[in-house]
Amino acid sequence: MTIAVSPQALPALVLNADYRPLSYYPLSLWSWQDAIKAVFLDRVNIIAEYEHSVSSPSFSMRLPSVVCLKTYVQPSRNPAFTRFNVFLRDRFECQYCGAHDDLTFDHVIPRAHGGETTWENVVAACSPCNLRKGSKLPKQAGMFPAQKPYQPTVQDLHNNGRLFPPNYLHDSWLDYLYWDTELQP
């Protein structure tokens, strides 16, 4: 799973006030228009710029490629329970067969058997596996998830997001993307 980023669109990488990206997946990017608006509203500092400029009759400026928020945004401690975050937790992989296509989600303990729609009971599953399992319990279906479902931390999702970089990373972004990963000796 790759997020498509068009280099021709000249997006700006958005960093929190601590110089970390607001998110890794999807990578926190703003359009050049939103980045310029934030500059004029004095909400960001420009860290790096593209060679390309925009002009009006009375003003010209180079487009920002990296901006940093002036005010720190407290990251959420608990990620939202969304379909996308379930897929990200499970690395966009069916937890029964490992397929990456046609993903949906499956209740490990089916709702018909009292299973709830929670982090601890929902996994990513491809449609064929989901249909095959149906409303059966894992033991009845002979299908067990590769990993036990759990509520991920924001850090878990960030770590998994790093496994799926966008198709394009501008050189000016590289110094800010993975600086909090452990260095190899």
pLDDT in tens, 66-109: 999 999 999 878 889 999 999 999 999 999 999 999 999 999 99
Which token pair is 27?
């990578």
Per-residue model confidence as pLDDT tens digits over 124-172: 999 999 999 999 999 999 999 999 999 999 889 888 887 877 777 888 8
Residue 2 has pLDDT above 50, yes or no: no
pLDDT of amino acid 141? 96
Residue limits of CATH 1.10.30.50 in the chain: 81-138
Is this prediction's pTM over 0.85? no
Per-residue model confidence as pLDDT tens digits over 4-57: 567 688 999 999 999 988 887 778 899 999 999 999 999 999 999 999 999 989
Residue 185 has pLDDT above 60, yes or no: no
Q: Which CATH architecture has domain 81-138?
A: Orthogonal Bundle (1.10)
